[in-house]
Amino acid sequence: MANIGVVGAGSWGIALSVLLSNNGHSVSVWSALADEIDMLNEHREHKDKLPGVKLSEKISFTKDLSEAVAGKEVLVLAVPSPFIRSTAHQLKDVVKPGQIIVNVAKGIEENTLMTLSQIVEEEVPQAVVAVLSGPSHAEEVGRGIPTTIVVGARKKETAEFLQNVFMSDVFRVYISPDVLGIEVGAALKNVVALAAGVADGLGYGDNTKAALITRGIAEISRIGVAMGGKFETFMGLSGIGDLIVTCASMHSRNRRAGILIGQGHTMKEAMDEVKMVVEGVYSAKAAKGLADKYGVELPIIEQINLILFEDKPAADAVRDLMIRDKKVENALLPFEE
């Protein structure tokens, strides 16, 4: 069994803490919010973000980052994407060479266009960095509902070690060397989920949702491959798998925010209503920046940026997507001469 520190006590950090504790590991959870740690110690439940999921007395909670890190074989980095760099910067002075940091957040840094694992590697160069992603709502993982994810690491021995740490009879873990592809799929699916929510808010139906999912994964794989990710990754758990669940579920904060925007709320109003970090809003500008950098056409992501940041009416954005120039669905499939 492993000693594990979970850095971040939001819904995902807590759900993974429950999973890892149930797997028999020693788990310590840190939060930058002192009130959050007090609440978790007192109630053994995250009443705001994961109500109803009771936390074992075996899980410890601390306000001291050094205590959460010291002697741990694995650190699970579970803070929201906008806080990855600042948190990793704090970790730099307390992480020992060779400690494994598993990033479980999803996003792209707007000003640098770096993936989150790239940020962690830059800030904590002595660490071994891996990622965990896939169709996995915290609300379901915390309740032990069967879930399947993928762990990405450059070295197979790291991936296999983490596979053994996380895997259980309700949490199936696959492994992959395509860390970049996993992270691109994880980040950009949140932007497409915003679009799916907007369509729901406008009152559109299943046909529209299927179109957004199908063409959304085409956009994600297009930019991901241009960046160096593998096409096969986007057809897997961290690509189409995560996209389906995020576009379809009301657990998805991105979809919920999109619904509110489609109903006429502003981006800020929608984020305030959801009361959690809406990762897709932060990733949307970064996705547009990546499209410009790599010269890749991403029409859905372009329209979401116009809705979010230039107040374009959502219905107009959908119409503009529908009347774009005629296209071949797959340019690699030849017609007969």
The set of catalytic residues is: 189
Structure tokens at 197: 């929510």
Distance between CA atoms of residues 147 and 145, nearest Å: 6
Backbone dihedral angles phi then psi of residue 61, each to the nearest 5 degrees = -125, 140
Q: Of 112, 110, 107, 105, which is closest to residue 132 (Cα–Cα)?
A: 105
Angle (CA) 142-145-148 rounded to 5° is 100
Strands 128-133 and 147-152: antiparallel
Contact 231, 225 (CB under 8 A): yes
Contact 7, 13 (CB under 8 A): yes
Which helix (H) or strand (E) is 269 found in, with range?
Answer: helix 267-274
Distance between CA atoms of residues 10 and 48, nearest Å: 9
- 3-state class of 5 per DSSP? strand
For 78-97, b/e burial (b = at least 16 CB within 10 A) is bbbbeebbebbebbeebbee
For 206-238, b/e burial (b = at least 16 CB within 10 A) is eebbebbbebbbebbbbbbbebebbeebbebbb
Dihedral sign for Cα 98, 102, 105, 110, please: positive
Distance between CA atoms of residues 6 and 101, nearest Å: 10
For 151-186, b/e burial (b = at least 16 CB within 10 A) is bbbeeeebbebbbebbbbeebbbbbbbbbbbbbbbb
Distance between CA atoms of residues 12 and 279, nearest Å: 13
